[in-house]
Amino acid sequence: MILRPDQLATLLAKPLAPLWVLHGNEPLLVLEAADAIRAAARGQGYEERETLVVGQGFKWDALTLAAGNLSLFGGAKLIDLRIPGGKPGRDGGEALQRYAAALPAQTLTLVTLPELDWQARKTGWFKALTEAGNAFELNAPERERLPDWIARRLAAQEQTAAPEALVFIADHVEGNLLAAHQEILKLGLLHPKGALSLEQVQDAVLNVARYDIDKLRQAVLEGDPARCARLLDGLRGEGAAPPLVLWALASEVRSLAMLRAGQDEGQPLPALLKAERVFDDRRRQALSRAVPRLGSPALRAALLHAARIDRMIKGLAQGDVWDEFLQLSLRLARR
């Protein structure tokens, strides 16, 4: 069954289920959950461990052999199956379905996967795994929830911080949860237990944000101009390719223009989103909120603006490309 991440600790305190499935977009959280399961397994007598990494040329017979190759002394075994690409292929999918249908005795199987798209979630092998075992989706907290996540991590090492200090950390580690984890540990080493001041946090935390284009698109749709400006500044500092930034912004403008035009014609937004092949829940919600605040004239002007930036990138027009990116983002993010 698919469970919430906060249920993991409770389940690990009980006799362990024979199958565990971890997947999500945040490697740190997947790694921590896998470590917790492995530690619980050792504590419950799973002393032998065999790791299988699915890559090019992997033979799925190895999974069956690992399950049947128990210790001569009759000890319980942990099979650590890792599928970094998230796509086991047809042979792998069939092998996983057979395996889930007849889980071996005295064996705990841990399957770790990356983030899975909606197509992968509908496959027979993934459904077989989630129905036979405990499955957890471990995604990075959304930007607005990141300060709360940081506060819980600080509380685990008996430290607290004021809301403005939590926001400061979140701004400086955006998109990089591993870096956030490292900065929190560093605060635990630099300062004693108790409350941390904003000044202490500012002195200790480095700017380790991983500015990426997907987050810029998200900030545009969610109408967050300050975040748009910060992300564009970071992308510029990291040497992001202007054509790639333009593609991201222009694709959002085109999507919004199509949705707005459809609504102006009286078509329901859910049907329009389906036609645009928007299946991610967060993106659906962001687009649903963005369309009402942007009219067709504003979106036509944004398309013309994007075309002007394209001419600048190609050397056919004068202007500061990054300043124009900011102006276009603010045009789209306005409330």
pLDDT in tens, 121-173: 999 999 999 999 999 999 989 888 999 999 999 999 999 999 999 999 998 88
The mean pLDDT of 191-196, rounded to a whole number, is 94
pLDDT in tens, 264-273: 999 998 888 8
Say which CATH number the domain at 224 has. Answer: 1.20.272.10
Is 0.75 surpassed by the pTM of this model?
A: no
pLDDT of residue 47: 87
210 confidence band (pLDDT: 50, 70, 90)? low
Task: Transcribe 21-71 into DSSP letters.
Answer: EEE-S-HHHHHHHHHHHHHHHHHTT--EEEEEE--TT--THHHHHHHH---
Q: Are residues 50 and 15 in the same domain?
A: yes
pLDDT of residue 305: 95
Q: Are residues 126 and 12 in the same domain?
A: yes
Q: Are residues 25 and 149 in the same domain?
A: no
Q: Does the pLDDT of residue 20 top 80, yes or no?
A: yes
pLDDT in tens, 66-115: 887 765 555 789 999 999 999 999 999 999 999 999 999 889 999 999 99
174 confidence band (pLDDT: 50, 70, 90)? confident
Which residue range is the domain that position 155 belongs to? Answer: 143-204
Domain stops at, among 101, 118, 137: 137
Q: Are residues 159 and 239 in the same domain?
A: no
Q: How many domains does the chain have?
A: 3
Q: Are residues 110 and 161 in the same domain?
A: no
Say which CATH number the domain at 127 has. Answer: 3.40.50.300
Q: Are residues 32 and 126 in the same domain?
A: yes
Residue among 26, 301, 330 nearest 180 (CA): 26
Calculated CA dihedral for residues 237, 243, 249, 253, nearest 10 degrees? 160
Domain stops at, among 137, 161, 186: 137
Q: Are residues 166 and 251 in the same domain?
A: no
Q: Are residues 131 and 147 in the same domain?
A: no
Q: Are residues 121 and 36 in the same domain?
A: yes
Q: Are residues 55 and 125 in the same domain?
A: yes
Q: Are residues 50 and 123 in the same domain?
A: yes
Q: Are residues 321 and 229 in the same domain?
A: yes
Alpha-carbon separation of residue 260 from 272, 273, 275, 294, 314 (angstroms): 9, 11, 13, 8, 30
Arithmetic mean of pLDDT over the chain: 90
pLDDT of residue 280: 75
Domain stops at, among 94, 113, 137: 137
Alpha-carbon separation of residue 53 from 30, 46, 63, 115, 314 (angstroms): 16, 20, 10, 17, 45
